[in-house]
C-alpha cells in the first residue's frame, strides 16, 4: 500500500497521547507522598519548576513544528534537522531508550493497581506474589495488540482509557473523607516542610511532566503536524498543569500527613467509590501511558534508521521497514518490545527511571536551545507561524541543565558520558556529516553584527582610546611564501586585528569572480590546519594602486577603523620599489601607520630573539616599535624568545638615553628586563646599518623604524643593505603612540 494513502491522524491523538502520559502513574502513586513529605507549597513549587521546563519546551516544539514540515520521528526529527544528523542521532538514541524503557516503567506501575489483589492473596494464602505475575502477561497482551493492530488500535484504545482516566479524576475531586469534613485546613498557612528533601521528591515527581511531548512522536502519522503538534501539545500541558494543582489541593484538604505518607493509593480513600475507581483510573492511566510510549518509541527508532544512524546498511534497512498494509514500523516495534520485556522482567526500574528523566531533560533542553538560537540568529528562512519568546526558550534550556544536576549529579554525568560516547562513534562513522554549523553561524552572525555596531558607536564617542593595531595587507605573493601572513597572525592572536587581501590583477567579471572564490577557498583550507586568527579575503582590481585604495577604505572586521597597512617585498625589487613608493601618498592620506615586511628565505627560528632598533631622535617610531613587539611577543610561537632593544644615540648621550629608555619600559609595564636593553653610541664614521648587521645577525626578527621623508629621498635603498638579517619589519608611525 502506498504510504500516502494510509489514514493520517488529526490533533486529538496528539492531545490524548500527551495528556494520558501527563496524568499517569506518578499522579496516582506519588503525589500523595510528595504532599505529605514537603507540604502543599513544596509540591506547588515543584509543579512550577517542572513547568518552567515543560512549558518553554511545548512552546519551542510548537514553534519549530510550524516552521517546516515535521516528518516521522517527532522530537528527533526536529533536533536532527537543527543540530545536524550526528548530534541529532546522539540525542535521538537517548530519547528512544527513554521512550522504550518508559513502556516497561508504566507496565510495572500498572501492576500497582492490583495492590488490593496482592494484599488479599497474602492475607488469605500467605503468598507474597511477585509483581511479574501481572506485569509480564500485561506486557505480552499489550505487545500482541500493538504489533498486530498498530497505531490505529492504540489511538482507539487511548480514547477509552482517557475517558476512564477523566472519570476517575472527576470522582476523586468530588469525593470526601471524614478528615476533610472534620478538619479545617488553611492552605495559605500550610508550611513548606523538609526542604532538604525537595529535589529528592522532585526526582520522583518529574517523570510525570515528561509526558508533555509524547504526542510529538506521532508527527509522521499526522495530517497536519504544524497544526496538530502545537495545539495538542500546548493544550495537554495546560490541562495537566491545572489538574495537578487541583489534585494537590484536594490531597492537602482531605487526607492527613500520616495517610499521605503511608498509603500509596490514598486517592482511593477520597474518591467516590474509590476502592474500585482509583485502581481502575491508575490502570487506565498507566496502560494509556504505556500505549502512548509504545506508539512513539518505534517511530523514533525508525526515523533514526532512515537517517542511517546505525553501523550497517542492512540493519538500517531492516529497522526502517514499514508494514505495507498500515505503514507501521513493525521491526522497530519488535525491538521496543524486547527492550520493554527485559526491564519488565527486572521488576524494578527506579534507578533507570532517573536516567530516563536525564535523557528527557537533555531532549527538552535541546529543543529550547534550538528555539533560542533560531530567535537570536534571525535567519530569513526561520518563519514559524507560531512564535514563542526567546527568553522563555533560554529559561527552559538553563533550568533543564540545572535541574539535571540537582536531581542527581552522578546520573547527569553518566548521561552526558553515554551521549558523548555515542556521538564519538557517530562522528567517526559519518565523517562527512556536518554538525550544527548553520544554526550557530546565524547566531554568530547576529552577535558579530551587533558587536561591530556597538564598537563603532563607542569608538566614535571616545576617539582617544588606547591604541591597538588593526592591520590590512594586500599581497599577490603565493600564501605559502608569504611572511606577511605570519606577521598578521602574530598581530591578531591576542591584542590586534588583521585582514589579509589576496590581490588578483584584473577587472571584476564572472571569470575573475570565480577565480577569486576558488583562490579564497584554497587559502582558507590551507590555513584551517593551523591556528590562524587572520580574516582572509580576495580583492580584484586592475592595478595594485587601485587595490590599495580600495583596501584603505574597507571597514575593519572589528567595527573600529583600520589603522595600519602592510606591504610585502617581492623578488622583483625594481617593480616592488615602484609599487611601494607610488602608494606611500595613499597611506599618508588615510592617516595609516605603515609596515614593510622584507623577503627572507627559509623558516623563522622562533627560539631566537626579537630585536628592536630605535633611534633617539625618532620617538614616534620608537613607541610603535615597542608596542608592536609586545603584541607580537604575545603569540605562543615566540615563548622561547626574548625581546631586546637597541637604542642608537649620539656620542655623549649614553646616560640620558638609557634613563629615558628604562623609564619608558617601566611605565609601560613591558616584559623587557634592563639586561635586554643595549644603548649604543654611534661613532661618527660608522653607519647605523653596519651596527645593525653586526648586532642582529642572529635574530629571528628585527623591527626597524624608518621615516617617510628619508624614504622619498633614498628610495628602496632605505631598506637595502641589511644582508646579515633574516626577517625584517620596517615600520613608520603616522602619529605618536602613547605607552601608558
Dihedral class, residue 669 (left if φ above 0, else alpha if ψ from -120 to 50, else beta): left
Which of residues 337 and 188 earns the better pLDDT score?
Answer: 337
| pLDDT at residue 703 greater than cutoff 90 | yes
- In which band, very low, low, confident or very high, does the pLDDT at 217 lie, cut at 50, 70 and 90? low
For residue 404, the surrounding DSSP H or E stretch is helix 390-407
pTM: 0.64
Q: How would residue 411 be classed by pLDDT, with cut points 50, 70 and 90? A: confident
Residue 151 is predicted with a pLDDT of 57
CATH topology agreement for domains 466-599 and 601-740:
yes
Domain boundaries 9-370+379-429, corresponding CATH code = 1.20.1740.10
Residue 5 has pLDDT above 50, yes or no: no
pLDDT value at 156 more than 90: no
Summarize the confidence of residues 307-334 as an average pLDDT: 85
Query: Which of the four pLDDT bands, split at 50, 70 and 90, describes residue 465?
Result: low
Map grid coordinates 507522598 to a residue: 33
Q: Does residue 435 contact residue 86 with C-beta atoms inside 8 Å?
A: yes
Percentage of residues of the chain with pLDDT beyond 70: 84
Q: Do 40 and 247 contact (CB within 8 A), yes or no?
A: no
- The pLDDT, as a whole number, for residue 4 is 47
- Contacts of residue 540, Cβ cutoff 8 Å, sequence gap at least 6: 504, 506, 507, 508, 512, 513, 516
Query: For 6-25, what is each residue's pLDDT tens digit?
Result: 456 778 888 887 887 788 77
Q: What is the mean pLDDT of residues 69-78?
A: 70
Within the chain, how many helices (H) and strands (E) appear? 27, 10
Per CATH, which fold does 601-740 belong to?
Rossmann fold (3.40.50)
Spell out the domain ranges in the chain.
9-370+379-429, 436-464, 466-599, 601-740
DSSP SS3 for 266: coil
Is residue 36 over pLDDT 50? yes
The third-level CATH classification (topology) of the domain covering 466-599 is: Rossmann fold (3.40.50)
* pLDDT of 2: 46
Phi/psi at 737 (5° precision): -100, 130
Asked if 726 contacts 604 with a C-beta cutoff of 8 angstroms, the reply is yes
Average pLDDT rounded to a whole number, residues 225-254 = 87
With beta carbons less than 8 A apart as the criterion, state whether 254 and 174 touch.
no
Of 360, 385, 346, 427, the closest CA to residue 90 belongs to 427
Per-residue pLDDT at 1: 43
Q: What is the mean pLDDT of residues 685-699?
A: 88
Per residue in 438-449, pLDDT tens? Answer: 556 666 666 766
Q: State the burial class of residue 590 (Cβ atoms within 10 Å of its Cβ: 0-12, 13-18, 19+).
A: middle
Phi, psi of 474 (to 5 degrees): -110, 120
- Where does the pLDDT of residue 387 fall: very low under 50, low under 70, confident under 90, or very high at 90 and above? confident
Inter-residue contact 94 to 417 (CB < 8 Å): no
Predicted confidence at residue 242, as pLDDT, reads 92
Report d(CA 601, CA 483) in Å as an integer.
10
Higher-confidence residue of 638 and 354: namely 638
pLDDT at position 562 is: 86
Average pLDDT estimate for 687-697: 89
Comparing C-alpha atoms, which of 196, 227, 172 is closest to residue 28? 172
What is the overall mean pLDDT for the chain?
81
Strands (E), 272-357: none
Write the pLDDT tens digit of every residue in 483-522: 888 888 898 888 888 899 999 999 989 999 999 899 888 8
Q: pLDDT for 84-107, tens place per residue?
A: 778 788 888 888 888 888 888 888
pLDDT above 90 for 150: no
Count Cβ neighbours within 10 Å for each residue of 678-712 and write b for 16 or more, e otherwise. ebbebeeeeeebebbbebbeebbbbbbbbbeeebe
Q: Above 80 in pLDDT, residue 436?
A: no
What's the confidence (pLDDT) of residue 381?
A: 62
Would you give the DSSP letter of residue 682? E
Considering the chain, what percentage of its residues have pLDDT values greater than 90?
10
**Which residue reads 597572525 in cell numbers?**
489
Give me the pLDDT at residue 724, please.
87
Q: Does residue 229 register a pLDDT over 60?
A: yes
Amino acid at each position: 500500500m502506498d504510504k500516502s494513502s494510509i489514514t493520517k491522524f488529526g490533533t486529538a491523538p496528539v492531545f490524548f497521547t500527551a495528556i494520558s502520559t501527563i496524568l499517569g502513574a506518578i499522579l496516582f502513586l506519588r503525589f500523595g507522598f510528595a504532599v505529605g513529605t514537603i507540604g502543599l507549597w513544596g509540591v506547588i513549587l515543584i509543579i512550577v519548576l517542572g513547568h518552567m521546563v515543560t512549558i518553554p519546551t511545548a512552546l519551542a516544539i510548537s514553534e519549530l513544528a510550524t516552521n517546516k514540515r515535521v516528518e516521522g520521528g517527532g522530537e528527533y526529527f526536529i533536533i536532527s534537522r537543527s543540530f545536524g544528523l550526528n548530534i541529532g542521532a546522539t540525542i535521538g538514541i537517548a530519547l528512544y531508550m527513554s521512550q522504550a524503557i518508559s513502556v516497561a516503567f508504566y507496565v510495572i506501575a500498572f501492576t500497582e493497581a492490583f495492590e488490593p489483589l496482592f494484599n488479599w492473596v497474602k492475607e488469605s494464602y500467605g503468598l507474597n506474589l511477585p509483581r511479574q505475575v501481572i506485569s509480564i502477561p500485561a506486557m505480552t497482551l499489550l505487545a500482541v495488540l500493538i504489533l498486530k493492530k498498530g497505531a490505529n488500535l492504540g489511538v482507539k484504545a487511548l480514547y477509552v482509557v482517557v475517558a476512564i482516566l477523566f472519570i476517575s479524576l472527576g470522582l476523586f475531586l468530588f469525593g470526601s473523607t471524614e478528615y476533610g469534613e472534620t478538619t479545617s485546613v488553611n492552605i495559605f498557612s500550610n508550611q513548606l516542610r523538609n526542604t532538604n528533601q525537595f529535589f529528592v521528591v522532585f526526582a520522583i515527581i518529574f517523570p510525570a511532566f515528561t509526558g508533555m511531548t509524547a504526542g510529538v512522536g506521532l508527527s509522521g502519522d499526522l495530517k497536519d503536524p504544524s497544526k496538530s503538534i502545537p495545539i495538542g501539545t500546548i493544550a495537554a500541558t495546560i490541562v495537566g498543569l491545572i489538574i495537578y494543582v487541583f489534585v494537590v489541593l484536594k490531597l492537602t484538604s482531605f487526607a492527613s500527613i500520616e495517610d499521605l505518607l503511608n498509603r500509596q493509593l490514598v486517592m482511593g480513600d477520597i474518591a467516590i467509590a474509590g476502592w474500585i475507581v482509583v485502581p481502575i483510573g491508575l490502570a487506565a492511566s498507566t496502560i494509556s501511558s504505556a500505549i502512548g510510549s509504545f506508539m512513539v518509541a518505534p517511530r523514533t527508532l525508525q526515523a533514526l534508521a532512515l537517517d542511517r544512524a546505525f553501523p550497517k546498511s542492512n540493519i538500517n534497512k531492516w529497522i526502517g521497514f514499514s508494514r505495507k498494509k498500515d505503514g507501521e514500523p513493525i521491526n522497530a516495534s519488535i525491538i521496543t518490545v524486547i527492550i520493554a520485556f527485559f526491564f519488565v522482567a527486572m521488576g524494578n526500574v527506579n534507578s533507570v527511571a532517573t536516567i530516563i528523566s536525564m535523557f528527557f531533560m537533555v531532549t527538552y533542553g535541546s529543543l529550547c536551545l534550538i528555539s533560542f538560537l533560531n530567535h537570536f540568529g534571525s535567519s530569513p528562512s526561520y518563519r514559524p507561524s507560531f512564535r514563542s519568546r526567546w527568553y522563555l526558550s533560554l529559561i527552559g534550556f538553563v533550568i533543564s541543565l540545572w535541574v539535571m544536576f540537582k536531581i542527581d549529579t552522578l546520573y547527569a554525568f553518566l548521561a552526558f558520558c553515554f551521549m558523548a560516547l555515542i556521538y564519538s562513534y557517530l562522528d567517526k562513522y559519518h565523517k562527512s556529516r556536518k554538525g550544527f554549523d548553520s544554526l550557530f553561524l546565524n547566531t554568530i552572525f547576529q552577535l558579530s553584527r551587533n558587536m561591530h555596531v556597538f564598537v563603532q558607536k563607542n569608538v566614535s564617542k571616545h576617539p582617544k582610546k588606547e591604541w591597538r593595531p588593526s592591520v590590512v595587507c594586500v599581497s599577490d605573493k603565493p600564501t605559502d611564501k608569504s611572511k606577511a601572513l605570519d606577521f598578521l597572525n602574530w598581530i591578531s592572536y591576542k591584542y590586534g586585528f588583521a585582514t589579509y587581501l589576496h590581490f588578483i590583477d584584473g577587472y571584476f567579471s564572472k571569470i575573475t569572480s570565480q577565480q577569486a572564490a576558488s583562490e579564497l577557498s584554497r587559502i582558507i583550507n590551507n590555513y584551517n590546519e593551523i591556528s590562524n586568527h587572520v580574516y582572509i579575503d580576495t580583492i580584484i582590481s586592475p592595478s595594485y594602486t587601485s587595490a590599495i585604495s580600495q583596501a584603505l577604505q574597507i571597514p575593519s572586521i572589528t567595527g573600529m577603523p583600520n589603522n595600519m597597512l602592510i606591504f610585502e617585498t617581492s623578488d622583483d625589487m625594481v617593480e616592488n620599489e615602484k609599487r611601494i613608493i607610488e602608494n606611500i601618498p595613499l597611506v599618508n592620506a588615510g592617516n595609516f601607520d605603515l609596515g614593510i615586511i622584507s623577503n627572507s628565505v627559509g623558516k623563522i627560528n622562533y627560539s631566537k630573539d626579537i630585536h628592536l632598533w630605535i633611534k633617539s631622535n625618532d620617538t614616534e617610531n620608537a613607541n610603535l616599535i615597542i608596542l608592536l613587539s609586545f603584541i607580537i611577543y604575545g603569540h605562543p610561537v615566540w615563548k622561547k624568545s626574548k625581546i631586546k632593544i637597541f637604542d642608537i644615540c649620539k656620542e655623549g648621550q649614553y646616560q640620558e638615553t638609557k634613563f629615558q629608555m628604562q623609564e619608558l619600559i617601566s611605565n609601560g609595564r613591558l616584559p623587557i628586563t634592563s639586561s635586554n636593553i643595549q644603548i649604543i653610541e654611534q661613532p661618527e664614521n660608522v653607519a647605523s646599518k653596519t651596527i645593525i648587521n653586526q648586532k642582529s645577525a642572529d635574530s629571528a626578527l628585527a623591527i626597524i623604524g624608518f621615516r617617510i621623508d628619508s624614504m622619498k629621498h633614498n628610495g628602496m635603498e632605505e631598506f637595502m643593505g641589511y644582508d646579515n638579517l633574516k626577517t625584517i619589519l620596517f615600520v613608520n608611525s603616522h602619529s605618536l603612540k602613547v605607552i601608558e
